A = this chain, B = another copy of it.
Amino acid sequence: MQDKQISLAHGNGGRFMRELIEEIFARHLANPELDVHADAVALPLERDGDLLFTTDGFTVQPLEFPGGNIGSLAVHGTCNDLAVAGALPRYLSLNAFIEEGFEIEQLERIVRSIAAAANAIDVRIAAGDTKVVRRGEGGGIYLATTGVGLRPAGVRPALDRIQAGDRVLVSGPVGDHGIAVMLAREQFGLHGDLRSDAGSVLRLTQSLLDLPGLHFMRDPTRGGLATVAHEICRATGLQVRLNDSAIPVRDQVRSVCEILGYDPHYLACEGRVVAIVSPDQAETALERWRGFDEGCDAALIGTLLAEDAHVILQTELGGARILEELEDDPLPRIC
């Protein structure tokens, strides 16, 4: 390919589009399932267990940030949704909406990150499509990924399995992704070397699947930990009581939040898991997570109570406040 920028002709179904697909997408994402000349491909898949399905769109700004870019995020985000549902991610589809004028060099970096993130967890990009939109009608590039995974028979972490008395675990510090992306925008004159936590949670989720006391898992992305707590509260009618001092938050995240008036509990993570586990197995789960690099700061942060259905943050001094449902967006375009 000789062009340096995407033009509308790269989206028209003809030769330029074929070259773009072959030389950028197919070259980096090559695998036995990806046939860029097929209308649809067959997915080789074992026939025991449940077939799981999920999708996510990505519009993060800036497109590249410390710890990742929109490409790695698009792989991790969708695969993590399969992972927290108890599945092993196997195949992804990839849609790209590319703005006219987008630099092909940057596109290639993003596609290379997609390939690396997928390879690291043995997931195949099995279908893809690109569309080119006019200058001024896109944000550089938007991605959508849809994932197919396999969940072993008998595994079913689900909201309806949560019980009063269950413990709330988180696999690491919250808010790193939100603040890392925010700092990368250099909007408020703030700078820092904080890296996003964007990454795969697959090892963490797989490590708990054999625990009968594992009742539910979710990755706290948009809306953060508080939003996951609200989903649990609303679905179960139980009170989610979180212990403020137990919730891991990095100093740099805390500082930025204090300066800008953000609450870290609402900030997006992209590589963390919240797990709801029966009280007798909470310690076991925590130990397993702490055995991984990506889970070394895992913590027990709360309990489900058969009391008023609120999300309550208990502070160190014995006080307590209600964490309201998120309404206003502290940081748009974070994923």
Tell me the A residues contacting B by CB distance below 8 Å.
8-9, 11-17, 37-43, 45, 47, 50-59, 81-82, 84-85, 87, 91, 93-97, 126-134, 136-139, 142, 144, 146-149, 151, 158-159, 218-219, 221-223, 227, 231, 235, 268, 325-329, 332-333
Contact = CB atoms under 8 A, between A and B. Distances in A.
A9 B327 contact: yes
Given A37-B159, A59-B133, A137-B139, A222 B12 contact: yes
Residue of A37, A40, A94, A132 most packed against chain B (CB within 10 A): A40
Contacts of A158: 38
Contact of A223 (B13, B148, B231): B13
Contact of A130 (B57, B97, B128, B219): B57
B94 A37 contact: no
A78 B139 CA distance: 24
Given A12-B222, A41-B52, A81-B40, A57 B227 contact: no
Contacts of A137: 137-139
B133 A13 contact: no
A64 to B, nearest CB: 17
Q: Which 7 A-B pairs have the closest CB atoms?
A: A13-B222, A14-B326, A13-B223, A12-B329, A146-B146, A55-B93, A40-B54
Nearest to A49: B42
Contacts of A219: 39
A85 B17 CA distance: 22
A17 to B, nearest CB: 8
Given A329-B9, A329-B12, A129 B39 contact: no
A233 B87 CA distance: 41
Given A55-B94, A59-B133, A325-B14, A82 B40 contact: yes
B129 A133 contact: no
Contact of A147 (B40, B134, B333): B40
User: How many copies of this chain does the complex contain?
Assistant: 2
A142 B146 contact: no
Contacts of A134: 139, 332-333
Nearest to A268: B13
B16 A327 contact: yes
Contacts of A147: 40
A293 to B, nearest CB: 23
A14 B128 contact: no
B42 A126 contact: no
8 contacts: A12-B223, A12-B329, A13-B326, A13-B329, A37-B159, A40-B54, A41-B52, A146-B146
A20 B148 CA distance: 26
A328 B221 CA distance: 41
B41 A54 contact: yes
B148 A57 contact: no
Contacts of A87: 40
A84 to B, nearest CB: 5
